[in-house]
Amino acid sequence: MPTSDPMALSAVDLVKTYRAGRGAAPVRALDGLTIGVAAGSVFALLGPNGAGKSTTVKILTTLSRPDSGRATVVGLDVLRDPDAVRHAIGLVSQKASSDPMATGRENLVLAGRIQDMSRGSARARAQELLTLFGLDDVAERLARTYSGGMARKLDVAIGLMHRPQVLFLDEPTAGLDPQARAELWAEIARLSGIEGMTVLVTTHYLEEADQLADRLAIVDHGRIVVDGTPEALKSELRGDTVNVELRSAAAAAAATGRLARLGGLNDVVSDGASLRARAENGARAVPVLLAALEDAGIAVASVTVARPSLDDVYLRYAGRSFEVAA
Amino acid sequence: MSAITQAPAASAGTQAIGSWRLGQHSAYLTARALRTLWRQPAYAAATLVQPVIWLLLFGQLFRSVVHIPGFSLGSGSYLEFITPGVIVMTALFSSTWAGTVYVEDMNRGVMDRLLASPVRRGAMMAGTLAYQAITTVLQTLVVFGLAFATGTRFPGGAAGVGVTLLAAVLIAVILASLSNALALLLRQQEALIGISQFIVLPLVFLSSAIMDTGLSPSWVQHVARYNPVDWAVVASRQALIAGAQWGAVWPRLGLLVALAATMAWLATRAFGSYQRSL
C-alpha cells in the first residue's frame, strides 16, 4: 500500500447507532457507509434529512465515534490520531459557528490562534479572507449583527483560516435566500479551485450538488446508494423523463401497471398520485402513453417531459422522489 | 496494509510544549469570555452590583440576629460576620451560571467547531473556570471595599483577605465545574438552571454564611460539616478575625483545593459524554 494515499478522505463500512430512548429500538444512522474522496476534489453527500450525512461528517471530523468501521482523513486514522486530523481539517457545521459577541475579525483571529498560527500570520490571513468574502466593511462589527448570508460566509472563512487540507461543509446554504446561496456557491467553487483543498459538502439541494461537486454520492438510510460524477449519473439514465400527474394514487398504480407493458417506456414508477417513466424520446412517447391511458379509462391531469436531472437519479436509486423524501 | 506510524512516547520536551499550548489556548478562551462580559455593560454592572445588594440587604435584614443569646460573633459587628458569607454566596450564585455559556455554544455550532479543532478539552474547561475566578476576585474586592467603606474592619488584614479570595475562587471553580458538567450532560438551558437553583439555596442555608450554625438544629451542624460552602465561609471568617485560627483555615482550604481539582477533572470528562450524544 503506498504511503501517499491519493484519497483525501476514506470511510469504510461505517456503522453508527443511536439510542432512541427507553424501550425504543436504536436508530441506525449509518449502516455500512463507504466513501472515498480524491484529494483536491469537491465531493457532495446528497440525501434527505436523517439519511446519515451529518453523522458521516461528525465521524470524519473526530466529533463522534463509529460503532464499527474505519475512517481516515489525509491518511490519518480518525480514531487513532484525532489530534493530527483536527489540524488538517476545517469544519463548517450546520449551525452558525461564529461567536456572536465577537467581531468578524476577532472570530477569524481566534480561530487561527487555536490552530497554533502566530499572531501576525493569523491577522494577515484574517484580512485576506475578509477581503475574499467581501466582509471588509463589516469586519469590526459583532457577528450577531450579520445577515444570514454574511454570517454563513464568516463561518466558511473561519473554517478556512488555517488553510485546512480538507474542508467539511455541513449543509452550508440551508436557510439562505437564493441570492445568498448562489453567492456562497460561487465562493466555494472559486476557493476549492485556488487553494487545492478537498471539500466534502453535505446537502439536500440537488442543485447544489450538481453545481459544486466533482463527484457525488446519494445517501439513503445510512448507506451510499450510488456515486459518480453528476454527468455520469445523469447520462446513465438514458433518455427523457416523462412525468404524468393523475387524479389519485390508485389511478397512478393502475396506470403504472398499464404503462409498464407499453413499449418505449422504461423504469415506470408511481409516487403518490404521480408517475414517472423514462423514454428514449419523450416527445414521441407522450401520444402513445396518453392513448394507452385513455383506452384504460384513466384520467390524466398533466403530462410533462424533461431532460434527466439529479432528482431522477435519486428516484431511480433511492426508490422515491427526492422531494417526497426530503 | 501499511503500519500507521505511532507517535513516539511523549518526552519531557513535547510534554512541556503540550502544557504551554494548553495554557495558551486557555488564555485565548478566557480572553474571549472577558471580552463578552465587557461588551455587555448592563450584565457586567449587575455582576458587580449583586454582591453589594446582598451585603446591604442581609446586613440590614439580619442585623438583630447577633442579639440572639449564644450567637458567636467574636468581637466584631454582624457586617464583619456576614462579609465572608456574602462573598462566598456571591461566588456561588455567579458560578452556577457558568454552564449556560456552554449551552449557548452547543446551540450554535461553536462547541462542535472547537471540539473538532486542536483545542484541548482541558483548555476549554480551564478557560471558563479562569473567567469565573477573575469575576469572583472582582466581586470579592467590591464586597470588601463596601464593607470597609461602611466602617467594618477585619483584624486578619491582608492574609485574611488573601484567604477569603482563595476560598471564594475555589468555591467558584467547584460550582462552575458542576455547572459546566451539567451543561454537557443535559444540554438544555432550562434543566441546567432548574438544577442549579435546587442546589444553591440549600448550600447557603446549610452553612454559616448568614447564620451562626451554633444556633441551628444539630442536624444542620452535621450537614454543614460536609458542605463546601461552609468550608469556604469558615476558612475565610477564621482568617479575617483577630488572632486568626489557622488550624481551622488550612484543612478547609485543603479540602476545597482537592474538591475543585476533582470537579474540574470530572467536568472535563463530561465532554466525552457530550460527544457520545452527537
Q: By the CB < 8 Å criterion, does B32 face chain A? A: yes
Identity of the residue in B1, B2, B118 whose CB atom sits nearest the CB atom of A86: B118
Q: Say whether pLDDT at A80 is over 90.
A: yes
Q: Cα torsion at B201, B206, B207, B213 (round to 10°)?
A: 140
Rounded Cα gap, residues B181 and A131, in angstroms = 40
CATH 3.40.430.10 at A7-99+157-230, yes or no: no
Q: Locate B18 and state its grid cell.
A: 503540550
Q: By the CB < 8 Å criterion, does B119 face chain A? A: yes
Instruction: Please tell me the predicted confidence (pLDDT) of residue A176.
Output: 82
- B110 to A97: CB separation less than 8 angstroms, yes or no: yes
Distance from CA of A59 to the nearest CA of B (A): 9
- Which residue in B193, B51, B184, B210 sits closest to B124, CA to CA? B184
**pLDDT of B198-250, one tens digit each?**
889 899 999 998 888 888 888 998 999 999 999 999 999 999 988 878 999 99
Supply the DSSP symbol for B3. P
**pLDDT of A82-123, one tens digit each?**
999 999 999 999 899 999 999 999 999 999 999 999 999 999
Distance from CA of A100 to the nearest CA of B (A): 9
Q: By the CB < 8 Å criterion, does A96 face chain B? A: yes
The A residues from 134 to 163 touching B (CB cutoff 8 Å) are 142, 155, 158-159
Q: How far is CA A164 from CA A123, A161, A185, B86, in A?
A: 17, 8, 19, 50
Rounded Cα gap, residues B248 and B162, in angstroms = 15
Q: For residue A83, what is the nearest residue in chain B, using CA coordinates?
A: B118
Q: By the CB < 8 Å criterion, does A194 face chain B? A: no
According to DSSP, the β-strands at A215-220 and A42-46 are parallel
Q: By the CB < 8 Å criterion, does B115 face chain A? A: yes
Contacts of A65 in chain B (CB under 8 A): 275-276
Contacts of A87 in chain B (CB under 8 A): 118
Q: Locate B179 and state its grid cell.
A: 455547572
- A102 to B36: CB separation less than 8 angstroms, yes or no: yes
- Asked if A68 and A15 touch (Cβ cutoff 8 Å), the reply is yes
Distance from CA of B14 to the nearest CA of A (A): 14
**pLDDT of A221-249, one tens digit each?**
999 988 999 888 877 777 788 889 988 88
Instruction: Give the residue ranges of DSSP H helices in chain A.
Output: 53-60, 82-88, 104-113, 119-132, 148-160, 178-195, 206-212, 230-236, 249-260, 282-295, 310-318, 322-325
Give span(s): CATH 3.40.50.300, chain A. Answer: 7-99+157-230
* A27-38 sheet: strands from edge to edge: A27-38, A7-18, A68-73, A76-77
- Which residue in B205, B38, B145 sits closest to A142, CA to CA? B38
Rounded Cα gap, residues B30 and A151, in angstroms = 24
Residues in chain A: 326
Fold category of A238-307 in CATH: Alpha-Beta Plaits (3.30.70)
Which region among A104-118, A307-321, B43-57, B126-140 has the lowest average model confidence (pLDDT)?
A307-321
